[in-house]
Chain A
């Protein structure tokens, strides 16, 4: 309702443009203060940021978009859940479950040259199963999914630690990691000479599918209706709310699992303990910044990918510590929340 009030006002009115401009200015201002306070050269820092994110074809295709791939997929997983009213904070764990399952399939050697056709669906399935645990706890016992899905992230993390030291460990049994995958288990690269892999195309395609699903299908409508108001959906729309919530959980987990499968077969070619730097948490910011719109997630995924790639270059070339990017990401989320607040105030005043 609030969004409708906002969109009906004229497109280029000051009232509409001022809040986002102010928020952006504050965010940029704080970034400048952080860099200056750390005694780093501001011009050198920003030019390094530009070089590392969009400055060259290599930076864009091989750094920014490669980093954007898991963020986009996980952002879609989070957005699907959030729009349906499921607070799935467990994308991180579902990602790890998917990565582990894909790895396990690859290492068994099934499928020969077509191993990816089995490994990626296995990742999807594992992600959905991992999400199903929290979904089932919610449906049967009313356990808050925020808590259960978050806790399952740690379980998944330790499960990976166990796997790379136990059943999936590399043949010499020295290093906590798996063997490197053969070429058949590596996703094809999209552009020669660049690191960008098929996973990104999958992410974009999935964004389009989800956008269409929410707009034009009955499933999408039910998910949205439950997200907008579960009680109303149940009484007026005769929607089986628990079932829809469970479905949303499964779908969200499936996408997150796919992201894990894509990361091991597209980038790392092996399973390691520290495979995710917290993609599943950053993805919440990716989804929120896109206001849970699947198409916009393509954009915010690139934005966060660029942010991390640029921050790496800032650290390499200007010595700005990597914690900086965490500060910026937090600021962006705070900015989005501030914007929502100004919009809602604007709407209620009218």
Chain B
């Protein structure tokens, strides 16, 4: 009953800090316990690895005790959300939009725990969602790719067809088209996020079709794309999610980065300080959580003129006046979801 009342109140106030202090997540002020659920292995140097780095930063900076679990199925998401709630964790982070149903279902049972999903749009008294404007740096990467490509064909390789990945690829294509209206963009999905050899096969297939810049967003499976580029000639890779410039420095143009540790710290501080507000937290270029990071090891790969052009567009994004072309904007989920 009380929870229902709070939900109503929260809706009524548009998620503002309404007078529901009694069931609001209590800040301990000192030691907090933070748990992270990832959908894949933290060794992927990408989506999951970045989240784990974020968890460790919360541990080091805030003195939190932390726990991590890799989960596969929706049933496991829910079970572990409950277990962490029952163990009195302060913050439980489900790293992906796929955790939002579990948050919706379990959140009301453990009002003292804050459930955060990275992606999705579920919001409740103790539930918030992080939404990354991953399209913005993807657009910049597309511009760079079009400028670097000699064949006039660039590729996108994703793990599975998820909303944030699709919208990111659409933005990449829009960026490429803005630079070279004749550019051809080929897209493929591996079908999973962990099969590196399948990732390599997809990359070799795209290289065979003439692609010489490949934007990969496939976590552990994406490591195979770097491998294919290393074996190919004059093929470049654009990394994603984490800074992937070190995986294969000689063939990497740069990374479309989500600074997940930064995002996690913002949320953890907010909860620790007792200032948690249920909402979809939009994290973009302006908040410096997403950005295009050129690879410092290959400074001459990108023409200087293009570097300057990318910088100027990035400045537009930083000031919040950049408007995504309609084609890319249409592919972006209206809910503002980003993985």
Query: Which positions in A face B, CB cutoff 8 Å?
Result: 52, 58, 62-63, 66-67, 158, 161, 165, 172, 174-177, 180, 195, 263, 267-268, 270, 272-277, 309, 312-313, 315-317, 319, 321-322
B67 within 8 A of A: yes
In the complex with contacts A174-B337, A176-B162, A270-B101, A277-B79 CB distance below 8 A: no
Q: State how many angstroms separate the Cβ of A95 from the closest Cβ of chain B.
A: 12
Q: How many residue pairs, one in A and one in B, have C-beta atoms under 8 Å apart? A: 81
| B69 pairs with A274, CB closer than 8 A | no
Q: How far is the CA of A339 from the CA of B97 in the complex (A)?
A: 46
- Extra contacts besides A270-B101, A273-B160, A277-B72 (7): CB < 8 Å: A62-B82, A172-B333, A174-B334, A277-B73, A277-B76, A312-B80, A321-B70
Could you say which interface size class chain B belongs to?
20 to 34
9 contacts between A and B (CB under 8 A): A58-B86, A165-B161, A172-B334, A175-B98, A176-B161, A263-B75, A268-B75, A272-B98, A277-B73
Q: State how many angstroms separate the Cβ of A276 from the closest Cβ of chain B.
A: 7
With beta carbons under 8 angstroms apart, the residue of B68, B74, B337 that contacts A275 is: B74
B236 within 8 A of A: no
With beta carbons under 8 angstroms apart, the residue of B73, B83, B162, B335 that contacts A313 is: B83
Instruction: Give the residues in chain A near B120, CB-CB below 8 Å.
Output: 175
B84 within 8 A of A: yes
Instruction: Give the residues in chain A near B79, CB-CB below 8 Å.
Output: 62-63, 66, 195, 309, 312
With beta carbons under 8 angstroms apart, the residue of A62, A165, A176, A276 that contacts B73 is: A276
Instruction: Give the residues in chain A near B334, CB-CB below 8 Å.
Output: 172, 174
Q: State how many angstroms separate the Cβ of B218 from the closest Cβ of chain A.
A: 15
Instruction: Give the residues in chain A near B84, CB-CB below 8 Å.
Output: 316
Q: State how many angstroms separate the Cβ of B335 from the closest Cβ of chain A.
A: 6
Instruction: Give the residues in chain B near A66, CB-CB below 8 Å.
Output: 75, 79
With beta carbons under 8 angstroms apart, the residue of A52, A272, A313 that contacts B74 is: A272
| A315 pairs with B163, CB closer than 8 A | no
Q: State how many angstroms separate the Cβ of A294 from the closest Cβ of chain B.
A: 24
Q: How far is the CA of A175 from the CA of B70 in the complex (A)?
A: 21
With beta carbons under 8 angstroms apart, the residue of B73, B80, B101 that contacts A316 is: B80
| A-contacting residues, B217-263, CB 8 Å | none
B35 within 8 A of A: yes
Instruction: Give the residues in chain B near A322, CB-CB below 8 Å.
Output: 69-70
| A312 pairs with B82, CB closer than 8 A | no
Q: How far is the CA of A180 from the CA of B98 in the complex (A)?
A: 13
Q: How far is the CA of A149 from the CA of B68 in the complex (A)?
A: 36
Q: Which of A66, A174, A176, A267 has the largest number of chain B CB atoms within 10 A?
A: A174
| B74 pairs with A274, CB closer than 8 A | yes
| A-contacting residues, B68-102, CB 8 Å | 68-70, 72-76, 78-80, 82-84, 86, 97-98, 101
Q: How far is the CA of A160 from the CA of B82 in the complex (A)?
A: 27
Q: State how many angstroms separate the Cβ of B255 from the closest Cβ of chain A.
A: 26
In the complex with contacts A58-B86, A180-B101, A316-B35, A268-B335 CB distance below 8 A: no
Q: State how many angstroms separate the Cβ of A156 from the closest Cβ of chain B.
A: 14
Instruction: Give the residues in chain B near A62, CB-CB below 8 Å.
Output: 79, 82
Q: Which of B35, B67, B78, B79 has the largest number of chain A CB atoms within 10 A?
A: B79
Q: State how many angstroms separate the Cβ of B70 from the closest Cβ of chain A.
A: 5
Q: State how many angstroms separate the Cβ of B318 from the closest Cβ of chain A.
A: 27
Instruction: Give the residues in chain A near B191, CB-CB below 8 Å.
Output: 158, 161
Q: How far is the CA of A195 from the CA of B334 in the complex (A)?
A: 34
Instruction: Give the residues in chain A near B69, CB-CB below 8 Å.
Output: 312, 315-316, 322
Instruction: Give the residues in chain B near A312, CB-CB below 8 Å.
Output: 69, 76, 79-80, 83
Q: How far is the CA of A175 from the CA of B35 in the complex (A)?
A: 24
Instruction: Give the residues in chain A near B78, CB-CB below 8 Å.
Output: 267-268
* B335 to chain A: closest residue by CB: A174
Q: Which of B73, B163, B333 has the largest number of chain A CB atoms within 10 A?
A: B73
